[in-house]
Homo-oligomer: A and B are copies of this chain.
Amino acid sequence: MLAPTEGELAILRVLWSDGPATVRAVNDRLNKTSDKPVGYTTTLKLMQLMADKGLVDRDTSARSHVYSAVAGQEHTQRGLLRRFVDSTFGGSRTQLVLRALGGGEASAEELAEIKRLIESLEKEDHHD
C-alpha cells in the first residue's frame, strides 16, 4: 500500500473521523478545520487520484460520489510512523519516544497514561 501524501492524509483524516463522505462534505470539513482555504476542485482532483491509487473506495451509484478510506487509521499511522522513525531517528522508536516526551511538553496526565500502557505491555510479556 502506497503511503499517502500530506494532502491525501488530510482527506483521509476526515474520512476516518466522519466515515464515508462526498467531495463536498470533505471539502467543507477541510475548510472549517484548516487555516488556508482549499478549492472544491482541488479536493475533487485529489480524491479522484486517491481512488486511482486505491487509497479510497468510491461509490458512483449516485450523482454525488461517496468516498471511503480503504486502509484503517491505525494501519496507516503505523506505516507513516515507521517511515518517519527511519528517516528522522535512524529507526529507533525509543529515541522518538524520548524526544516526544522530553522538553517539558508532556502533561502529567499524558505521562501517566503512557506509563499505564507500558505496564500493561510488560504484563503481556510475562504472560507468554
A110 at the A/B interface (Cβ < 8 Å)?
A: yes
Stoichiometry, copies per complex:
2
Contacts of A10 in B (CB 8 A): 87
A-side interface size class = 35 or more
Contacts of A6 in B (CB 8 A): 87
Residue of B93, B111, B112 near A100 (CB, 8 A) is B93
Closest to A103 in B: B78
Residue of B9, B84, B106 near A93 (CB, 8 A) is B106
Closest to A95 in B: B77
A71 at the A/B interface (Cβ < 8 Å)?
A: no
Chain A residues packing against B (C-beta within 8 Å): 6, 9-10, 13, 74, 77-78, 80-81, 84-85, 87-90, 93-106, 108, 110-115, 117-119, 121-122, 124-125
Known: A102-B117, A121-B111. A88 touches B80 (CB 8 A): yes
B110 touches A93 (CB 8 A): yes
| Centre residue among A87, A96, A100, A125 by max chain B CB count within 10 A | A100
